[in-house]
C-alpha cells in the first residue's frame, strides 16, 4: 500500500486537531500498519530506529498514545506483563498465552453491549469492550523434546 494511502487517516486526523504532521508520527504509524501485528513500544522503537535515527522511547510512547487518542491504534494490556498496540481497528477480540505472552486476534461473536451499557451507567464515557481469552498456546503446550 502506498505511503500516501497509509498516511491519509493520520494526516487528516492531525490536521483536524490542528496538530503537526511530523516524521516520527508518520513513520511510527506506517510501521504499525506494515507490521500488522501486536507490538510493544520497545518493539516499535527497535523497528523504527533505522528509519528515524535518534528517536527515543518517550517519543515512541507519546506517538502511540496520540495514535490511540486519534483512534488509529488500540491499546491492549497489560497482556503478558506488557502493553501492546494493535493496528487492526475492526471489532475483534484477543487470545493470550499465559506462558509465553503470545497474542493473537480472535474473531468470535461476543455480545459486549451489556458491558458497555453498565460502563455508561457507572459514569464512563467513550467506553470500548473487548474480550481477552487466556490459555496456553500450541507452541508452549507441545514443546520440542530434546534428545541428548
Is 78 in the same domain as 96? no
Is 100 in the same domain as 131? yes
Is 19 in the same domain as 53? yes
Q: Residue 138's domain spans which residues?
A: 90-148
Q: What is the number of alpha carbons within 13 Å of residue 58 lying toward its C-beta?
A: 0
* CB 29, CB 10: distance < 8 Å: yes
CATH value at residue 28? 1.10.10.10
Is 42 in the same domain as 10? yes
Is 23 in the same domain as 65? yes
Is 72 in the same domain as 105? no
Q: Give residue 124's pLDDT.
A: 94
Q: Give residue 77's pLDDT.
A: 75
Is 8 in the same domain as 60? yes
Q: Give residue 15's pLDDT.
A: 94
Is 75 in the same domain as 111? no
Is 45 in the same domain as 106? no
Q: Give residue 91's pLDDT.
A: 84
How far apart CA 25 and CA 10 sit, in angstroms, is 8
- What is the mean pLDDT for each group of 10 consecutive residues in the chain (148 residues)? 77 93 94 90 94 93 95 82 87 88 89 92 88 90 65
Amino acid at each position: 500500500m502506498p505511503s500516501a494511502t497509509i498516511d491519509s487517516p493520520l494526516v487528516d486526523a492531525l490536521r483536524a486537531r490542528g496538530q503537526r504532521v511530523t516524521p516520527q508520527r508518520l513513520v511510527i504509524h506506517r510501521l504499525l500498519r506494515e507490521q500488522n501485528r501486536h507490538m510493544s513500544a520497545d518493539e516499535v522503537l527497535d523497528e523504527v530506529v533505522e528509519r528515524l535515527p535518534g528517536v527515543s522511547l518517550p517519543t515512541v510512547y507519546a506517538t502511540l498514545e496520540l495514535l490511540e487518542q486519534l483512534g488509529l491504534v488500540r491499546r491492549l494490556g497489560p497482556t503478558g506483563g506488557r502493553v501492546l498496540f494493535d493496528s487492526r481497528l475492526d471489532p475483534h477480540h484477543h487470545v493470550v498465552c499465559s506462558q509465553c505472552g503470545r497474542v493473537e486476534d480472535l474473531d468470535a461473536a461476543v455480545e459486549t453491549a451489556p458491558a458497555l451499557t453498565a460502563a455508561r451507567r457507572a459514569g464512563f464515557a467513550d467506553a470500548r469492550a473487548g474480550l481477552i481469552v487466556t490459555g496456553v498456546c500450541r507452541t508452549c503446550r507441545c514443546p520440542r523434546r530434546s534428545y541428548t
